[in-house]
Amino acid sequence: MPEERDAERHEPVVLSVVIPMFNEEEALPALVTRLRPVLTELGVPHEVVAVDDGSGDRTAELLAAFRLGWPELRVVALRRNSGHQAALTAGLDRARGAYVVSLDADLQDPPEKIPDMLALARAQGLDIVYGVRADRSSDSGFKRWSAGVYYRLMRRLAGPSVPAQAGDFRLLSRAAVDALKALPDQQRVYRLLVPWLGFPSGQVAYERAPRTAGRTKYPLGRMIRLAVDSVTGFSAAPLRIATWLGAGAFVVCLALLVYTLTAFALGRTVPGWTSLFTGIVFIGAVQLICVGLLGEYVGRIYTAVQNRPTYFVRHDTAAPSPGGGAGAEDPKEPRVPVPRA
């Protein structure tokens, strides 16, 4: 695209909008319809970085079609489905803007709030502006409950700077993005990492809308994975659970010792199958839980030592920044996405 190269050469990109998408063919047209006028009206040089997270549906084809009439749309396609946070990493690594907004593709986060975020960041010189969900009534009861538990836990673990009810809709300054890029973390959970950076931040409230189309890409298993990554990424406290359980079991053991010795002295030692069996099963379960907890941390160490990239870029419709990001790019790959059947 000649216009795009011109834009690259003469105008530094002020705003990048990073959108991870996985099988979002149903939501994509509505997203473009709502996002594009907002950005046009904003009137600053911008790019929309659509990160196609290994979609198997027509997402790639639709993106290629939208690009024909929208030069600001840039497509970064990953080789395989790498997960929401890894797709976000790919987008942040490659975004060129002085400010970077991350947005979900399903329009649960309103693009209309982007100008407010940018204005707030510029007016007050902030590096981070969180989109904070003022109203989650559109989410299911279970999602609201689990989100409530999750944020309470996270504030305890990662500190009170973690805003409650702030997901991955946020604006970051170039300084904040560069700080994130410099982190060695592999299993990233941005909603904890970003507040942890300690940059000056502000908030913009919004109403969480229902998913515009398609189905959630965060089934229960992935939610649990995110929660485990969040906890193990920020705290070694669960490892201490083993110590506390051990201490508790020791106290119980002392009491039982008194009981068994008394029973022995009184000559009433034959019955006891129930207590014995319960004791064995209990200790076995506690030990397995502790080994499992230990395993989570060993797993993190293992991943960190392997130090593999968390995503691979198949193609990027803009020229890749030199040495940009963890993703290796295959130069043999065509620049224009090939529509899938």
One-character DSSP codes across 271-301: --HHHHHHHHHHHHHHHHHHHHHHHHHHHHH
Of the pair 81, 235, the CB lying nearest ligand UDP is at: 81
Which partner in ligand UDP, Mg ion, none is near 105 (CB below 5 to 8 A by kind)? Answer: ligand UDP
- Say whether 140 sits in a helix, a strand or coil: coil
Chain mean position to CA 112: 22
Look at the block and give the residue holding tokens 């008394």: 262
Q: Which of 4, 45, 61, 81 binds ligand UDP (CB under 6 A)?
A: 81
Chain mean position to CA 98: 22
Look at the block and give the residue holding tokens 């100008």: 115
List the interface residues with ligand UDP, window 213-232 (CB under 6 A): 216-218
Which partner in ligand UDP, Mg ion, none is near 109 (CB below 5 to 8 A by kind)? Answer: none
- Sequence-distant (≥ 6) Cβ neighbours of residue 97 within 8 angstroms: 13, 14, 15, 16, 46, 47, 174
Which partner in Mg ion, ligand UDP, none is near 20 (CB below 5 to 8 A by kind)? Answer: ligand UDP
Binding-site ranges for Mg ion (CB under 5 A): 104, 106, 108
Are 157 and 231 in contact by the 8 Å Cβ rule? The answer is yes
Instruction: Please compute, for residue 309, the number of CA atoms within 13 A of its CA located in the half-sphere on the CB side.
Output: 17
CB of 328 to ligand UDP, least distance (A): 19
Alpha-carbon gap, residue 115 to 46, rounded angstroms: 12
Of the pair 126, 170, the CB lying nearest ligand UDP is at: 170
Of the pair 89, 317, the CB lying nearest ligand UDP is at: 89
Q: Which of 25, 93, 104, 316 binds ligand UDP (CB under 6 A)?
A: 104
Are 32 and 69 in contact by the 8 Å Cβ rule? The answer is no
CB of 146 to ligand UDP, least distance (A): 10
For 5, 65, 74, 158, 338, the CA distances from 1, given in Å and listed in that order, are 7, 13, 11, 44, 16
- Sequence-distant (≥ 6) Cβ neighbours of residue 34 within 8 angstroms: 107, 110, 111, 112
Q: Is 91 in the site for ligand UDP (CB under 6 A)?
A: no
Q: Point out which span in 63-71, 80-88, 198-206, 281-289 binds ligand UDP (CB under 6 A).
A: 80-88
Q: Is 93 in the site for ligand UDP (CB under 6 A)?
A: no
Of the pair 87, 313, the CB lying nearest ligand UDP is at: 87
CB of 78 to ligand UDP, least distance (A): 9
List the interface residues with ligand UDP, window 176-205 (CB under 6 A): none
Query: Which stretches within 11-140 are classed as H helix?
Result: 28-42, 59-68, 84-94, 114-124
Q: For residue 180, how many other CB atoms are within 10 A of its CB?
A: 20
CB of 251 to ligand UDP, least distance (A): 42
CB of 317 to Mg ion, least distance (A): 25
- Say whether 173 sits in a helix, a strand or coil: strand
Of the pair 137, 274, the CB lying nearest ligand UDP is at: 137
- Sequence-distant (≥ 6) Cβ neighbours of residue 84 within 8 angstroms: 20, 22, 53, 168, 217, 218, 222
Count interface residues toward ligand UDP (CB under 6 A).
Answer: 16
List the interface residues with ligand UDP, window 18-57 (CB under 6 A): 20-22, 24, 53
Which partner in ligand UDP, Mg ion, none is near 92 (CB below 5 to 8 A by kind)? Answer: none
Q: Which of 105, 132, 172, 231 binds ligand UDP (CB under 6 A)?
A: 105
Q: Is 87 in the site for ligand UDP (CB under 6 A)?
A: yes
**Eight-state DSSP code of residue 329:** B
Which partner in ligand UDP, Mg ion, none is near 95 (CB below 5 to 8 A by kind)? Answer: none
CB of 230 to ligand UDP, least distance (A): 14
Which residues of this protein are in contact with ligand UDP, per CB under 6 A? 20-22, 24, 53, 81, 83-84, 87, 104-106, 108, 216-218
